[in-house]
């Protein structure tokens, strides 16, 4: 059994103090695995001059201090690390099972989606909850959680006119993606439910509950249970395990 990984990598300068690493391993999940493995190795090896890395789907943004390293040096170092990564370097991530309510008043786009997807609400919710989602990135806003693996049957368009305010902890879908809003914020994704807790708390360590490469399953609860869960500490509401 070989432990090495097959993928294509392209590194290019992105301004005077960052490099963009693009990975193509054939599909999004495989590319995401390589990005996460490379990201983990970069932080473990404490490469001189790197200030931060931003993984997202099939790319890794590597920011550095131009006073301490340079594009060509860093490119060589990243290539050297990429040559040595193997399947064991792919971070395991956490496995989450979380309750969510998909009833009114939390499912703001319930009626519109029933029409658009030609399905009744119960089957839409069942379909959504049957899938396991992969966290592909945490970003855009602090704690905004991008989820992949949305079932094809739930493909829908974004709103033509984004809402001025999407409530914090809303679960949303758009195109082939799902997402969780950390704060009240404007947004154009379709809102299908809500979590009974916040996914980003400045005083928590780390502040973002979910991290790239985690896996999430949703468990539908009724509004009475949801309201009770809202009052409870988060640790007692969610189930967490290390994967494999």
Range in contact with another protein (rule: CB under 8 A) among 56-64, 105-113, 124-132, 227-235: 56-64
144 vs 187: CA distance, rounded Å:
11
28: nearest Cα among 125, 111, 121, 133: 133
**From the list 73, 159, 183, 220, which residue makes contact with another protein (rule: CB under 8 A)?**
183
**Closer residue to another protein, CB minimum distance, 16 or 224:** 16
Cis peptide upstream of residue 202 (ω within 30 degrees of 0): no
96 forms beta bridges with 216, 240
30 binding another protein? (CB under 8 A): no
Task: Give the up-direction half-sphere exposure of residue 116: CA atoms within 13 A in the CB hemisphere.
Answer: 16
Applying CB under 8 A, among 7, 47, 55, 106 the residue interacting with another protein is: 55
Dihedral (C-alpha) 141, 169, 43, 217: value to the nearest 10 degrees? Answer: -140
Range in contact with another protein (rule: CB under 8 A) among 46-54, 98-106, 112-120, 221-229:
46-54
Q: Does 63 bind another protein (CB under 8 A)?
A: yes
Q: Which two tokens stand for residue 66?
A: 């131009």
Interaction of residue 207 with another protein, rule CB under 8 A: yes
Q: Is the N-terminal amide bond of 190 cis, ω within 30° of 0?
A: no
Q: Is 149 in the site for another protein (CB under 8 A)?
A: no
Question: Which window, 14-22, 80-88, 122-130, 235-243, contacts another protein (CB under 8 A)?
Answer: 14-22
The answer to whether 15 contacts another protein (rule: CB under 8 A) is: yes
Q: Can residue 57 be called a binding residue for another protein (CB under 8 A)? A: yes
State yes or no: residue 159 binds another protein (CB under 8 A).
no
119's torsion region: left (phi>0), alpha (psi -120 to 50) or beta? beta
223 binds another protein (CB under 8 A): no
Q: Which CB atom, from 63 or from 95, has the smaller least distance to another protein?
A: 63
The answer to the question of residue 189 lying near another protein (CB under 8 A) is no
**193/190 Cα distance (integer angstroms):** 10
Cβ of 10: how many Cβ atoms within 10 Å?
10
First to last CA, the chain: 19
Could you tell me which stretch among 76-84, 91-99, 109-117, 203-211 binds another protein (CB under 8 A)?
203-211
Instruction: Please count the CA atoms within 13 angstroms of the CA of 47 that sit on its side-chain side.
Output: 26
Verify binding: residue 39, another protein, rule CB under 8 A. Answer: yes
Contacts with another protein by CB under 8 A lie at 12-18, 20, 28, 39, 51-61, 63, 66, 137-144, 146, 175, 182-186, 200, 202, 206-208, 211-212
């Amino acid at each position: 059994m070989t432990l090495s990984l097959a993928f294509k990598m392209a590194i290019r300068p992105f301004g005077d103090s960052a490099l963009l690493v693009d990975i193509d391993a054939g599909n999004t999940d495989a590319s995401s695995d390589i990005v996460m493995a490379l990201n983990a190795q970069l932080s473990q090896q404490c490469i001189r001059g790197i200030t931060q890395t931003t993984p997202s789907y099939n790319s890794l943004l590597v920011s550095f201090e131009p006073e301490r390293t340079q594009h060509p040096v860093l490119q060589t170092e990243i290539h050297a690390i990429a040559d040595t990564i193997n399947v064991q370097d792919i971070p395991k991530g956490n496995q989450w099972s979380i309750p969510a309510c998909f009833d009114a008043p939390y499912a703001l786009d319930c009626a519109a989606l029933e029409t658009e997807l030609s399905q009744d609400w119960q089957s839409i919710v069942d379909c959504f909850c049957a899938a396991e989602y992969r966290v592909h990135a945490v970003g855009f806003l602090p704690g905004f959680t991008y989820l992949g693996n949305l079932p094809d049957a739930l493909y829908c368009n974004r709103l033509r006119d984004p809402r001025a305010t999407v409530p914090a902890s809303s679960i949303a879908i758009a195109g082939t993606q799902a997402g969780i809003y950390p704060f009240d914020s404007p947004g154009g994704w379709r809102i299908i439910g809500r979590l009974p807790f916040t996914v980003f708390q400045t005083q928590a360590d780390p502040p973002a509950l979910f991290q790239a490469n985690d896996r999430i399953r949703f468990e539908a609860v009724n509004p009475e249970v949801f309201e009770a869960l809202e009052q409870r500490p988060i640790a007692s509401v969610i189930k967490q395990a290390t994967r494999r």
